[in-house]
Amino acid sequence: MENKHEYTLIICAGIFGTDETLLSIKLNNRFSFKRMSLIPIKDNLDAIFQVDAMGLRREYETARIDDSLDIICAYYSETVILEDKDAKDYFNLVCDKALVDLDNSIRTIRLLVECSLHFKKMSVQMALKTFKFGTTNMTYSFKAIIPISEALDTKIMQCFHCARKDINQLNKYLSSMQFPLSNQIVNSCHAYFDLSYHQLNHVSITLLITCLEMLYLHSEQGKKEKLAKRCAYFLYNHKSKRLKCFKRLQDLYKKRSELYITETQLI
């Protein structure tokens, strides 16, 4: 019979692009949002992210939510009892599942609230509580820092903010939404939409116009006018708002086409 030991599991990701109202949002997975300090001796974020104090400040300076040295983290901890032979497989499974769970939650929030909310790294640590082997104190641990490559250079265009009156509704939607979305076209559109947050402006415009084409166009001529008209009628009832939307979408479509021609010429 293999020996069983008690492990402490800690999962943490520093969140960028938010204010403190994110603390009222309830995630429907193992994580919760927690206010934590960049001062190493307070919450040990330097140990969690395996950097020194200066490195921690440098990496998370833009994640600060106010004049304090506090950031918001997605955080989870628990104690698990495992057989020695299962520990590594369990740790790898936790890494994969935690990354998917948190990524889906952040993407859902970005879909429901216009914001640049994101995380750049996720730390997963599973440490064996100290035990004695004969007369020797033994420790054993697994550690991983998982980078989110698409988010590493993401700029904060607009911070997450949720008015008190909207928090309950947002929490309700968060608990009911799941990825991938059931409609294949809508799911593909969401993938482009979400990716646009992590791209330069000209790439974002191309991705977003592509989403609209998938939703509003078939294989037909006069795409610019048809797309602008259909979007405007879907979004607005008032004539003046429809006209304004129509003109703006035409301009954006023209800009997207010019970008595409330029990129083609460069290739």
Q: pLDDT, tens digit, for every residue of 32-60?
A: 999 999 998 899 999 999 999 999 999 99
Instruction: Please list the residues that pair with 8 across neighbouring strands.
Output: 79, 127
Contact between 13 and 118 (Cβ < 8 Å): no
The mean per-residue pLDDT over the stretch 200-216 comes to: 90
E strands present in the chain: 4-16, 32-37, 70-83, 118-119, 121-128, 131-133, 136-138, 141-147
pLDDT band at 223 (very low <50, low <70, confident <90, very high): confident
Question: Looking at residues 238-259, what average pLDDT do you find?
Answer: 90
> In this predicted structure, what is the pLDDT of residue 57?
96
Average pLDDT rounded to a whole number, residues 147-169:
91
Residue 225: what residue type?
E
- Parallel, antiparallel, or unpaired: how do β-strands 141-147 and 121-128 relate? antiparallel
CA pseudo-torsion sign 226, 228, 233, 235: positive
Confidence band of 10 (pLDDT split at 50, 70, 90)? very high
For the segment 125-145, the average pLDDT, to the nearest whole number, is 74
pLDDT band of residue 265 (cuts 50, 70, 90) is: very low
pLDDT at 237: 95
* Predicted local confidence at residue 262, as pLDDT: 56
- Rounded Cα distance between 261 and 54, Å, is 45
Which residues neighbour 23 within 8 Å (Cβ) at sequence distance 6 or greater?
Answer: 33, 34, 35, 72
Q: pLDDT band for position 2 (50/70/90)?
A: low
Non-local (6+) Cβ contacts of 241 within 8 A are 232, 235
- Cβ neighbours for 267, distance < 8 A, ≥ 6 positions apart: none
Two structure tokens written together for 239: 């004539």
Tell me which residue of 44, 146, 157 sits closest to 103, measured CA to CA: 146
| pTM score of the predicted model | 0.86
Percentage of the chain beyond pLDDT 70 is 93
Residue 135 confidence class, pLDDT cut points 50, 70, 90: low
Q: How far apart are CA 263 and CA 202, in angstroms?
A: 11
* Nearest by Cα to 27 from 76, 64, 94: 76
Mean pLDDT taken over the chain? 90
**CA–CA gap between residue 37 and residue 240 (Å, rounded):** 49
Backbone angles phi, psi at 6, to 5 degrees: -100, 125
Distance CA 151, CA 107 (A): 12
- CA dist., res. 132 & res. 125, Å (int): 21
Helix (H, G, I), strand (E, B) or coil at 158: coil
Residue 112's CB is within 10 A of a number of other CB atoms, namely: 15
